[in-house]
Amino acid sequence: MKYTAIINDKTYQVEIGAHNTVNINGKVYQVDFRLVDGNAQYSLLLDNVSWEALVAREGDEYRILIGGELHIVVVQDERTRKMAKAEGAQAAVTGEALIKAPMPGLVRGVPVKVGDAVAARQGVVVLEAMKMENELRTPRAGMVKEVRVKAGDRVEQGQVLVVIK
């Protein structure tokens, strides 16, 4: 079975063969791959070279930690590669920037209101989490379209707080 692994725009052709072999970019290795711990810790012997990896999956991405280095890998086979191409063509830019809570916390203040013009990197929400006040900034210039929270609100991670148009 042939797969294409993509890491940061670089592709790796990986063919999984019979008798515990794997062919990567034309080189063939003996492979012994085991889950060793807690459903995320793996041990890999690649031609007897020993590797440990911590693996998490988020959607289509594998986030693989090896010795502190994080590799974000997307794997495609023939079919998914075609689908990805088609989706990419449809994707449209909405033109809105959503300021989301990066962590659960308490809103300490919203120094902007609907209709305000904001500059790139301007602070739009002050969020307190883990005893620190964090200023959340807009990634780009624009106008405040919506303010969905007020000082004193408790918010969850990922919750949209302010929308910039």
Partner 1 sequence: MFKKVLIANRGEIAVRVLRACRELGLQTVAVFSEVDRNALHVRYADEAYCIGPAPARESYLRIDRIIDVAMRARVEAIHPGYGFLAENDEFARACAEAGLIFIGPPPQVMQKMGDKIEARRTVSRQGVPVVPGTYEPLRDEEMLAAAKQVGFPLFVKAAAGGGGKGMRRVETIEDLPSAIARARSEAESAFGDGTLYLERIVKPARHIEFQILADARGNVIHLGERECSIQRRHQKMVEEAPSVALDDKLREEMGHAAVAAARAAGYVNAGTIEFLLDKERNFYFLEMNTRLQVEHPVTELVTGIDIVKEQLRIASGRALSYRQEDVQQRGWAIECRITAEDPYNGFLPSTGKIISLHEPTGPGVRLESALYEGFEVSLYYDPLIAKLCVWGPDRAAAIMRMKRALSEYKILGIATSIPFHQRLFQSTSFIGGVFDTTFLDERFTLEPGGSEETAEVAAVIAALLTHEQRQHALTIPPPTHSTRGGWKRFGALEGWR
Q: Which stretch binds partner 1 (CB under 8 A): 30-38, 89-97, 114-122, 137-145?
A: 30-38
Q: Cβ of residue 51: shortest distance to partner 1, in angstroms? A: 5
User: What is the C-alpha separation between 155 and 126, in angstroms, rounded?
Assistant: 12
Q: Cβ of residue 96: shortest distance to partner 1, in angstroms? A: 21
> Residue 59's closest CA among 74, 81, 78, 43?
74
The 3-state DSSP composition of the chain as helix, strand, coil percent (nearest 5) reads: 10, 60, 35
Q: Which residues contact 71 (CB under 8 A, 6 or more apart)?
A: 7, 63, 64, 65
Contact call for residue 33 and partner 1 (CB under 8 A): yes
By beta-carbon proximity to partner 1, the closer residue of 85 and 158 is 158
Structure tokens at 11: 């592709």
Residue whose entry in the numeric block shows the structure tokens 């379209």: 145
Q: Which residues contact 23 (CB under 8 A, 6 or more apart)?
A: 13, 14, 15, 17, 29
Contact call for residue 120 and partner 1 (CB under 8 A): no
Q: Does residue 40 contact residue 49 with C-beta atoms inside 8 Å? A: no
Q: Which stretch binds partner 1 (CB under 8 A): 84-92, 112-120, 125-133, 141-149?
A: 125-133
Q: Rule CB under 8 A: which of 39-98 touch partner 1?
A: 39-42, 44, 46, 51-59, 62-75, 77
Q: Cβ of residue 126: shortest distance to partner 1, in angstroms? A: 8
The site for partner 1 (CB under 8 A) is made up of 1, 3, 5, 7-8, 10, 12, 14, 16, 20, 22, 24-25, 29, 31-42, 44, 46, 51-59, 62-75, 77, 102-104, 108, 126, 128-133, 135
